Amino acid sequence: MTIEQIALDFCTAVQADNEAGYQAMWSDDIVSMEPGDGPMAQIQGRDQLLEKHKWWNENAEMHDFSMEGPFVVGEQFAVNYSMDVTMMGERSQSSETAIYTVKDGRITEERFFYGS
């Protein structure tokens, strides 16, 4: 499967909120990085990423969500996300760009960059 097809399939699964679909694309030793120094700023492995997603699902109320992409170059693709979400009682709008690295047909790394 090409990187373009992997990126398209991933984005389709995310847009459809198909957790099993996009999680099947993760490598077992996937690394996830977020800005900052918090406990989830850098995690490694499928189990830790599943815990991160569980925390998000338990603490975030999504009002609106959109995405642009994927934008593919080499073994990476980028996706721009926009969200209207309530977290811990506070509603806010945010945007972020995610860069995904693919090796051997699996996503091995995701890095998030937040907009202002």
The pairing of beta strand 26-33 with beta strand 106-114: parallel
User: Could you tell me the domains of the chain?
Assistant: 3-114 (3.10.450.50)
What is the DSSP-derived secondary structure letter of residue 22?
Answer: H
Q: 33 - beta bridge partners?
A: 42, 111
Query: Average pLDDT of the chain?
Result: 94
Q: 81 - beta bridge partners?
A: 67, 96
For residue range 57-69, what is the model confidence (pLDDT) as tens digits? 999 999 999 999 9
The pLDDT score that the predictor gives to residue 116 is: 60
Q: What contacts 65, CB < 8 A, 6 or more positions away? A: 81, 82, 83, 84
Q: Smallest Cα–Cα separation from 99: which of 89, 90, 110, 83?
A: 110
